[in-house]
Structure 1
Amino acid sequence: MPTDAAPGSRDRRETVRFYLLDHRTLLGKAIDIALLVLNLVFVAVFVAETYSLPAELRTRLWGVEVAIAGVFLVEYVLRLYGARDRLAEAMNPYTVVDLLAILPTLLVVLLPGTGTVAGIGFLRVVRVVRALRFYRFTQDAEFFFGTISDNALRASKLLLTVLVLLFVSAGLFYSAEHAANPDVATFGDAFYYVVVALSTVGFGDIVPITAAGRWITVASILAGIIVLPWQASKIVREWSRREKIDVTCPSCGLSSHDRDATHCKACGHVIYQEVDSSE
C-alpha cells in the first residue's frame, strides 16, 4: 500500500528502512548485533521464568523483559514506518512473529494490577514464538560478520529449524502440562521430554497426562517428520548439483548434466560439452 509522501519524509523512511536491512555499515552491523543479543536475552528470560526463583530476581527479570519488549516494539513500528508497502510489511510472517513475540508482555503492561496474567496458559503459548524471531537473521546470506555461501545458509536454517522446533514444542508442552503434571516442573523437563519424544527413544519417565500435551506431542513429531527431511533434502540436492555442469540440451531442454557427458542422458542428443581429460 504505497503512499505519497513529502521528499523529507520519504528520505527519512528510506534511511530507516536501509539501516534496518543493512549489514555492511557500522550502524547497520550494530543494530543487527544488538537485536540478536536482545533476542537471545528475551528467550533466556522466558526459560528462566519457568524455574523457582527469588522474588527479587523474578522482579528484575520482569523489568528486563519489559525493557526488551519496548525495544522490539520500537523496531516493529520503525519497520512499518520505513516500509515501501506497509500493508505487505505488516503481513510479512517475520513481522507478524515480531508482534506476537512481544504481545504477551504488552498485554500485562497494559493491564495494570493484573501481573499474575503473565502466568495464564494462553499467554505462555504465545510467548514461545519468540524463538521464531531468529529466522529474521537468516533471510539472506549476508550477515554483520560477512557473507556466507548458500549451502552454509541452508545448513544454518536446518540447524535453526531443529532448535526452534525443540524450543517451541517444549514451550507448548510446558504450558499444557506444568499445572497438572508433577514431572514437568520446569522448561528443562519439557525440553528433555521433547528431545526424547522426537528422537523416538521414549524412556517413559515423563509422559503427557493432558489431552493438550498429547496433541502437542503428536504435532511436534509430525512437524519433525515433515519439516526436517524437507529442509535436509534441499541441502543434499544442492550438494549433488556441485558435480553437475549447467548445460542445457538443445533438443529436449534437460539441464545439469554430468561433467564428463557429451550426450544428453535423456534423448541422446550431442550437447557439445568440452571435457578436460585431466580432470
Structure 2
Amino acid sequence: MASHLESVPALPAPRSPLRRRLNRLYHGETPAALRFQCAVVAVDLAIIGFFLATPLLGDGPVFLWLDYSIALLVGLDLAARALAADDLRRWLKRPDVWVDGFIFVTLLAPLWIVNLGFLRVLRLWTLSRSPVVWRPMRRAGYAHWEDATRAVVNLTTFLFVTTGFVYTFFANRADGIEGYVDALYFTVATVTTTGFGDVTLPGPWGRLTSVVAMIVGISLFVRLAQAIFRPRKVTFSCPQCALMRHEPDAVHCKACGHQLKIPDGDD
C-alpha cells in the first residue's frame, strides 16, 4: 500500500490569485485581456522607438531619466511574464527571455555598458516572438501574412543592430561615417550588396563586419522573398503528427495522412 502511494505523482501547487490573473491577461482572449495585450504591444513599440532614437539623445539627464524609467517598465514586464508562465523553468530557457534580460541589464547600467547599447534593438525581435502580437492578425483573417511579417521584422532588426554596431565602433574612425544616418546608409548599401564604395570600414575588423552584413543580409532578403512569393499555407496543427503548415484546401495531412478539419476562418 505504501509503495503504491509513493508512486502517485504529487499534484502541482495551486497558483496564487495574482499568477492566475496575470496568466489570463497575457494569454487570455477576453476583451479585458485583449485590451491589456494591445497596451503591452503599444508600450513595447514606444520602447523600441526610444532605443532607435538613443544615438540622437546623447547621455544627458533627460536620457538617463528616460533610460531608468524604461528599465522599470522592462523589469516589471519580465517579472509579470514570469509569474504568468505556465512552466517557469521552460520559460527561463527561451532565447527571447535571455535577450530581454540582457536588455534590462544594459538599461540599469547605460554608462557602463554603453558599447553594447545598440543590442537593445533586439527588443523588436523578442516582441515578434510573442503570441500577443499575432493573435489580432489571425483573428482579423490575415494569418497568411504572418510569415512575411516575421521576415520583415527579422530583416529590420538585423539592419538596425548592424547600424548600431557600425555607429558604435566605427563612427569618426572610418571615412564617411560621422553620424547614425551615415552608419545606416553604409549598412543598407552593404546588406543589399549595392556597394557604392563611397563609405568603407577600415582594417580587418571592418572587412569582416562587411562580409557578415552581406551574408546575413542576403539570407534574410531571400527568406523575405520566400515568405512573400511561395504558395500560401494555413496554420493548423495536425491531431496526429502536429504538422502546422497545410494547403488551404487540404483534406489529409501530407506527413501522416490523418484526416484534417481545417476551419474556414483560418483563411
Task: Indicate which of 88, 106, 115 corresponds to 2:108.
Answer: 106
Provide the C-alpha distance between the structure 2 equivalents of 1:145 and 1:231, rounded to a whole number of angstroms: 19
Matches within 5 A, 1:4-153: 4-5=12-13, 7=14, 9=16, 11-26=17-32, 28-51=33-56, 58-108=60-110, 116-119=111-114, 121=115, 123-137=116-130, 141-143=134-136, 146-153=139-146
Q: Aligned match of 1:219 in 198, 212, 215? A: 212
Number of aligned positions between the proteins: 236
Residue aligning to 1:259:
none
For 1:239, what is the secondary structure of its paired residue?
coil
Q: Which residue of 2 aligns with 1:260?
A: none
3-state SS, counterpart of residue 49 of structure 1: helix
Encode CA deviations 1:124-168: one digit per residue, 9 max, x unaligned. Answer: 243332332331346774128943432111221122222112111
Which runs of 5 or more residues in structure 2 are unaligned? 1-9, 235-245, 259-267
For residues 59 and 118 of structure 1, do their structure 2 counterparts lie closer, same or farther at Cα, with a shift above 3 Å needed?
Answer: farther
Partners of 1:210 and 1:46 in 2: how far apart?
28
Q: Distance in 2 between matches of 1:3 and 1:224?
A: 49
Q: Distance in 2 between matches of 1:37 and 1:143?
A: 13
CA gap 1:238/1:223 in 2 versus in 1, 3 angstroms:
same
Matches of 2:23 and 2:206, distance apart in 1: 41
Work out the CA distance in 2 between the residues paired with 1:179 and 1:30. Answer: 46
Partner of 1:170: 163
Aligned partner of residue 210 in structure 2, secondary structure:
helix
Structure 1 CA distance for aligned equivalents of residues 230 and 197 of structure 2: 37
One-letter amino acid of the counterpart of residue 200, structure 2: V
- Shifted more, 159-168 versus 29-38: the winner is 29-38
Query: For 2:11 and 2:195, how far apart are their aligned partners in 1?
Result: 56
Q: How many angstroms does 1:79 deviate by?
A: 1.4
* Residues 1:236 and 2:229 aligned together: yes
% identity of equivalent residues: 20
Deviation, 1:182, is 5.3
Normalised TM-score (structure 2): 0.73
8 Å CA contact 2:151, 2:220 repeated in 1: no
Post-superposition shift, 1:45? 2.6
Change (3 A) 1:210 1:138: farther
What is the CA-CA distance between 1:184 and the residue it aligns to?
2.3
**TM-score of the two chains, using structure 1 as the length reference:** 0.70
Distance 1:3 1:237, change over 3 A: farther
- Select 1:246's aligned residue among 250, 259, 262: 250
Closer/same/farther in 2, CA of residues 92 and 148 from structure 1, 3 Å limit: farther
- Which residue is 2:188 aligned to? 195
